[in-house]
């Protein structure tokens, strides 16, 4: 890099000097006498001493000597020569020692010069994020300083030459107990790279790091991806907080596949793209209350964290649409006997049977946030208690083949939501499903689809001609661009959280079918 070559040519390159234990920073606080002949002689001796110390590799002691010389006479005739010497010393000094000098109060060496060299040395030490911050602050605080043009050149190099827009990093659990999920994700990523290469007629690169499902390892992998000059990072799939914190420190855009709503709020370079409980509930509520116009619902839910969370979210959504939750009933999440909770719910929210033999329900829809295996036992109980005709609402856990096989007589009027539907007729979904099946000989699921989309989102944004740095990439992702993908439409709001258009699915003729909206 031309700037580094130039600096080395000017000042030379030296190994990190040993700290001189005899040097006391407080010794630099010298009372400034008048510019007498005696003072001039002392300045001369200190300058000579500094040169000798620098030549012997004792840069810290040399800087102390130069500082004492300036403190004795800030306007000494030898000032230009001393400042040149200080430049040479700082060019050889490690960043931690420069930081130590900056923290000394009433230092005679000008702070702007120290801050400039701190940024330069940090860049030479490949601590690019910190270097960019220091040099940017230097230019903001001292805009008229003679070193501003050089600082601008360094910042431009850090932002552009350190940014490979055709290369992204991936954090996946490829070993350990979560390896199966990492392998599924990797299939989606590889397919996205292949499709993008064909579309752009160029090669794209992925740098994959195995997190082993460990948060600490994931954070360490972020540093390795930074050194690989990736444009941005996809992942991790699990335990995203530590990796996210490190990516934010290094100012690398990172899109985590996490359900945590507040993850992206932790930093401006952090994004999240995954199906969340909030998305599912809002999708169901909009269709049931706005499109169908239903006004009264009931909730039957397991008394465990998953069930309680969805119960609260659905209750809030109903209130927002002006609908009424007429009743709720819990059940033991570990039990396989649902007779009593179903009986209580129906007894409390029904009137005597009509001519058809079914009870008259006080609700039009029933929301049950639970797995398909339990739903397969609950739906027959509803029929046994003559509770028929209401709309059945479920989460993506209902989207399982067993719901078709084991509840054929009871799964009518079902509406569920999911982040991916392989039989969708949306063009982007059809293309992905066909390409995936042709390449791997198997059907994809949500994990493969959402990693496929996330890869395309990150690379297609990086390929924008106006995106030439990680900062540009971060800002472009926040522009609320709409991405059409296998998982539907996705955009990131102003805080980096994905807004997704989920699929609505019903059951017809013993098949899952997409609902039109």
Domain positions in the chain: 2-160, 167-273+428-485, 278-418
Mean pLDDT computed over 33-48: 72
Lowest mean pLDDT, pick from 126-130, 183-187, 343-347, 492-496: 126-130
| Residues found in the chain | 517
**Helix count (H) and strand count (E) of the chain?**
19, 17
**Quick one: pLDDT band at residue 220, thresholds 50, 70, 90?**
very high
Query: Do the first three CATH levels of 2-160 and 167-273+428-485 match, i.e. the same topology?
Result: no
Q: What is the mean pLDDT of the chain?
A: 88
**Quick one: pLDDT band at residue 107, thresholds 50, 70, 90?**
confident
CATH of domain 2-160: 1.25.40
Lowest mean pLDDT, pick from 14-28, 198-212, 227-241, 413-427: 14-28
Mean pLDDT computed over 27-42: 59
Model confidence at 3: pLDDT above 70 = no
Kindly provide the b/e burial profile for residues 221-230, where b requires at least 16 CB atoms within 10 angstroms of the residue's own CB: bbeebbeeeb
Question: What is the pLDDT, as a whole number, of residue 22?
Answer: 38
**Quick one: pLDDT band at residue 441, thresholds 50, 70, 90?**
very high
**Quick one: pLDDT band at residue 355, thresholds 50, 70, 90?**
low
**Other CB atoms within 10 A of residue 322 CB:** 9
User: What confidence tens digit (pLDDT) does each residue in 306-316 have?
Assistant: 999 999 999 99
339-343 own/partner pairs: CB under 8 Å, 24+ apart: 339/381, 341/300, 342/300, 342/378, 342/381, 342/382, 342/384, 342/385, 342/387, 343/385
DSSP class per residue in 109-169 = S-HHHHHHHHHHHHHHTT-HHHHHHHHHHHHHH-TT-TTHHHHHHHHHHHHHTT-BTTEEE
User: Yes or no: is domain 167-273+428-485 CATH 3.40.50.2300?
Assistant: yes
User: What confidence tens digit (pLDDT) does each residue in 288-339 have?
Assistant: 999 999 999 999 999 999 999 999 999 999 999 999 999 999 999 888 889 9
Q: How do beta strands 391-394 and 365-367 pair?
A: parallel
Cα–Cα distance measured from residue 47 to residue 85, given in angstroms and rounded to the nearest whole number: 9
Nearest to 49 by CA among 8, 89, 105: 89
Residues 259 and 294 sit within 8 Å (Cβ to Cβ): no
Instruction: Select the more confidently predicted residue: 89 or 33.
Output: 89
**Quick one: pLDDT band at residue 167, thresholds 50, 70, 90?**
very high
Question: What is the pLDDT, as a whole number, of residue 243?
Answer: 96
Cα–Cα distance measured from residue 174 to residue 183, given in angstroms and rounded to the nearest whole number: 6
Q: What is the domain class of 278-418 according to CATH?
A: alpha beta
Cα–Cα distance measured from residue 498 to residue 436, given in angstroms and rounded to the nearest whole number: 24
Q: How far, CA to CA in Å, does 268 sit from each of 56, 255, 263, 441, 471? A: 46, 11, 11, 39, 10
Question: What is the pLDDT, as a whole number, of residue 26?
Answer: 41
Lowest mean pLDDT, pick from 67-81, 158-172, 359-373, 425-439: 67-81
């Amino acid at each position: 890099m031309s700037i580094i070559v130039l600096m080395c040519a000017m000042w030379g390159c030296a190994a990190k000097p040993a700290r001189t234990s005899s040097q006391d920073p407080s010794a630099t606080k010298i009372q400034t006498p008048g510019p007498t002949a005696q003072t001039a002689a002392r300045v001369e001796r200190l300058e000579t001493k500094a040169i000798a110390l620098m030549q012997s590799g004792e840069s810290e002691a040399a800087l102390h000597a130069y500082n004492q010389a300036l403190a004795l006479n800030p306007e000494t005739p030898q000032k230009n020569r001393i400042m040149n010497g200080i430049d040479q010393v700082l060019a050889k000094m490690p960043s931690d020692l420069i930081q130590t000098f900056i923290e000394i109060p009433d230092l005679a060496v000008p702070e702007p010069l120290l801050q400039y060299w701190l940024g330069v040395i940090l860049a030479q030490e490949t601590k690019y994020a910190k270097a960019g911050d220091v040099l940017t602050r230097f230019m903001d605080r001292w805009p008229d300083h003679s070193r501003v043009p050089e600082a601008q050149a360094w910042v431009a190099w850090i932002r552009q030459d350190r940014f490979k827009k055709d290369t992204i990093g991936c954090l996946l659990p490829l070993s350990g107990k979560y390896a199966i999920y990492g392998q599924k994700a990797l299939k989606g990523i590889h397919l996205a790279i292949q499709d993008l290469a064909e579309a752009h007629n160029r090669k794209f690169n992925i740098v994959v790091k195995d997190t082993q499902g460990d948060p600490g390892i994931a954070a360490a992998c972020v540093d390795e991806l930074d050194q690989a000059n990736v444009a941005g990072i996809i992942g991790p799939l699990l335990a995203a907080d530590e990796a996210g914190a490190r990516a934010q420190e290094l100012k690398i855009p990172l899109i985590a596949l996490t359900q945590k709503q507040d993850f992206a709020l932790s930093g401006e370079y952090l994004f999240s793209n995954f199906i969340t409980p909030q998305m599912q509930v809002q999708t169901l509520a909009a269709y049931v209350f706005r499109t169908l116009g239903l006004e009264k619902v009931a909730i039957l839910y397991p008394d465990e964290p998953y069930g309680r969370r969805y119960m609260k979210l659905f209750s809030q959504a109903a209130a927002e649409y002006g609908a009424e939750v007429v009743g709720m009933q819990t059940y033991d999440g570990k039990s396989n006997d649902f007779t009593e909770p179903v009986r209580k719910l129906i007894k409390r929210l029904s009137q005597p049977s009509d001519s058809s033999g079914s009870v008259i329900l006080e609700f039009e829809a029933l929301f049950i946030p639970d797995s398909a295996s339990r739903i397969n036992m609950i739906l027959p109980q509803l029929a046994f208690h003559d509770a028929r005709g209401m709309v059945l609402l479920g989460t993506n856990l209902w989207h399982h083949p067993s719901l078709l096989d084991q509840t054929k007589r009871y799964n009518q009027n079902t509406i569920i939501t999911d982040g991916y539907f392989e039989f969708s007729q949306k063009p982007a979904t059809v293309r992905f499903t066909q390409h995936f099946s042709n390449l791997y000989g198997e059907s994809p699921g949500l994990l493969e689809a959402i990693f496929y989309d996330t890869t395309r989102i990150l690379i297609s944004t990086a390929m924008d001609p106006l995106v030439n740095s990680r900062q540009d990439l971060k800002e472009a992702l926040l522009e609320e661009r709409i991405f059409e993908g296998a998982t539907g439409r996705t955009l990131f709001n102003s805080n980096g959280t994905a807004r997704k258009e989920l699929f609505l699915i019903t059951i017809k003729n013993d098949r899952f079918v997409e609902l039109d909206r």
